[in-house]
Amino acid sequence: TRVRGNQVRGRKTFTTSLVPTKPGKLVISNLQLAYFDPTTDQYEVVTSPDLEVEVTGEALPEDSPETKVPTSSEPQLKPLLAKNPHRPRRWLTSPIFLAAQALPVLSLLLMAGLPWLRRRLAQGALEWRSRARNDLEKQLQQARAPEELPRLLHRYLSERLDRPTAGLSHRRLEQALDEAGLATDLRHQLLDWFRECDHRRYAGGEDELSAQERQRAQALLARLKAEWPA
């Protein structure tokens, strides 16, 4: 729709399919076109007059092949099916029968596939742990603040113990490490280091991470990896 001067012009196409069944006159009802008139700021409707169409020629007979609706052929086929001795029985193609036939094959496939699936899952877990530890070493090397070190070590311990450790008290953490079989001297070194980190954080120590603190955290991680190989 577009406005030119005082006129609103536009175009809309209507398609009507006619299937006449007999000669004579047909009337197509009026067509309506709604448009928005920006000059009056409202919608208007234009209605066309009825269109009269005249059909000439002869109509096809109602029973001709072109106009006849196909009927079901089942009544005509039943006598032929009754005389066929080789037609399959319906129960042979029923879903229950087919499922019963497939059960032995599915059981064999399941028995053969379960060991492979277990090995694949175990291998995937080992690969994930290896990647996680490599990422942890990189993050220790890139750490800039002292509080990042205990957070990274806690993430490693949580993955190894299969439980979150950052919220545990020192006594509960020592108990969990003892139950996991960690060596006594390493357990004491790790707990002492966590206590020093907590003291530094709450006492308002330096904000910059020293090379000595980073090396100490890396040494503890190396000891943990040696104690808990993948």
pLDDT score, position 85: 56
Q: Tell me the mean pLDDT in the region 168-181.
A: 88
pLDDT score, position 87: 57
pLDDT score, position 128: 47
Residue 9, pLDDT > 80, answer: no
What does the block give as tokens for 130? 């290896």
Q: What CA–CA distance (Å, rounded) separates 216 from 184? A: 18
Q: What percent of the chain has pLDDT over 90?
A: 0
Q: Tell me the mean pLDDT in the region 172-181.
A: 88
Rg (CA), the chain: 42
- Residue 168 three-state SS: coil
Nearest to 154 by CA among 172, 173, 130: 173
What does the block give as tokens for 41? 């700021």
Amino acid in the structure at residue 28: I
- What angle is formed at CA 72 by the lines to CA 67 and CA 77, rounded to 5 degrees? 130
User: Which of the pair, 162 or 81, is modelled with greater confidence?
Assistant: 162
**For 13-27, 88-102, 121-135, 138-152, which range has the lowest pLDDT when averaged over its residues?**
121-135
On the 0-12 / 13-18 / 19+ scale of CB atoms within 10 A, 176 is middle
Phi, psi (rounded to 5 degrees) for 3: -110, 130
Q: Tell me the mean pLDDT in the region 8-34.
A: 75
